[in-house]
Amino acid sequence: MRPALVIVALIVLAALLVPPLLPFDHVAIDWDSVRVGMFTDGHLLGTDDLGRDRLARLLVGTRVTLSVALAAALVALVIGVAWGAIAGWVGGRTDELMMRIVDGLYALPFMFVVILLMVVFGRSILLVFLGIGFVEWLTMARVVRGQVIALKQRPFILAAEAAGSPARATLLRHILPNVAGVAVAYLMLTVPHVVMIESFLSFLGLGVQEPLTSLGILVNEGAEEMDMNPSALLLPGGVLVLVIACLTIAGERFRDRLADAAR
């Protein structure tokens, strides 16, 4: 878990702290050196077709992708935990109804919905992460509901009732803290998934809008010139793979550790 988290932390730090230190920003066009190779005229990774610094664009793209992912995952966390906890806690027909709604939403073709949203409301970064978060909460709700139902049958919940604890207090003081670990573990697994979705949307040209960039856009651009300049594809692609792999590994380790601790 630790090496994976260190790698992610380094990437995040680089994406946050390095761009202001660079002599170029991700939008500025350097007319003197359009499409130059690495280590030319102060451009460590060279420039693209429009003369924009590739390093600045890579770091900003990473930042955008990660923040979209984090925001979407948080949206998923909030909606998913609330929905799942209420369904599991109330139980009975309320539970059946709420979970059938989740099943129904699962059945909608996600890409179609996102494309429709983009067409109707225009492209915006806010819409991207709202759209993704709106889909990702479904699984979170299921996971949380299962946990809540398992916890609800534990005798300490009955003991709390006997102790005169009102239902809402029991939910807040006993159930949610015990669900938190699983929710966080699942959150850690949601982030790489959202990174993937965001990059995919951007690759299709449905994600964030130029001149802002993201890893998906950079991969798309890189793919167009990969025969002349493979590093344009490999660098953003590499960062993408590294982030997804490390977060997934860390998330799974965390989840396994929780499962062990529960035993």
Q: How far is Cα 74 from Cα 146, in angstroms, rounded to an integer?
A: 20
Q: How far is the CB of 95 from another protein (least distance, A)?
A: 11
DSSP state of 47: B
Q: How far is the CB of 80 from another protein (least distance, A)?
A: 21
DSSP state of 172: I
Q: How far is the CB of 241 from another protein (least distance, A)?
A: 37
Among 21, 107, 120, 163, binds another protein (CB under 8 A): 163
Among 31, 164, 168, 260, binds another protein (CB under 8 A): 164
Q: Is 158 in the site for another protein (CB under 8 A)?
A: yes
Q: Is 174 in the site for another protein (CB under 8 A)?
A: yes
Q: Which residues are CB-neighbours of 83 under 8 A, at least 6 positions away? A: 98, 102, 137, 141, 144, 145
Q: How far is Cα 244 from Cα 188, in angstroms, rounded to an integer?
A: 10
Q: Is 177 in the site for another protein (CB under 8 A)?
A: yes
Q: From 13-21, 72-80, 162-170, 197-205, give the range in contact with another protein by CB under 8 A.
A: 162-170
Query: How many Cβ atoms sit within 10 Å of the Cβ of residue 200?
Result: 15
Q: How far is the CB of 101 from another protein (least distance, A)?
A: 15
Residue 238 CA: distances (Å) to CA of 17, 147, 204, 205, 245: 20, 36, 19, 20, 10
Nearer to another protein, 166 or 230 (CB): 166
Q: Is 168 in the site for another protein (CB under 8 A)?
A: no
Q: Is 155 in the site for another protein (CB under 8 A)?
A: yes
Q: How far is the CB of 157 from another protein (least distance, A)?
A: 9
Q: Is 93 in the site for another protein (CB under 8 A)?
A: yes
Q: Which residues are CB-neighbours of 207 under 8 A, at least 6 positions away? A: 123, 128, 198, 199, 201, 214, 216, 217
Q: How far is Cα 141 from Cα 98, in angstroms, rounded to an integer?
A: 10
C-alpha closest to that of 18 among 46, 48, 59 = 59
3-state DSSP call for residue 40?
strand
Q: How far is the CB of 152 from another protein (least distance, A)?
A: 12
Among 156, 210, 241, 257, binds another protein (CB under 8 A): 156
Nearer to another protein, 160 or 191 (CB): 160
Q: How far is Cα 36 from Cα 215, in angstroms, rounded to an integer?
A: 21
* Residues at the contact surface with another protein, assessed by CB under 8 A: 93, 96, 154-156, 158-165, 174, 177-178
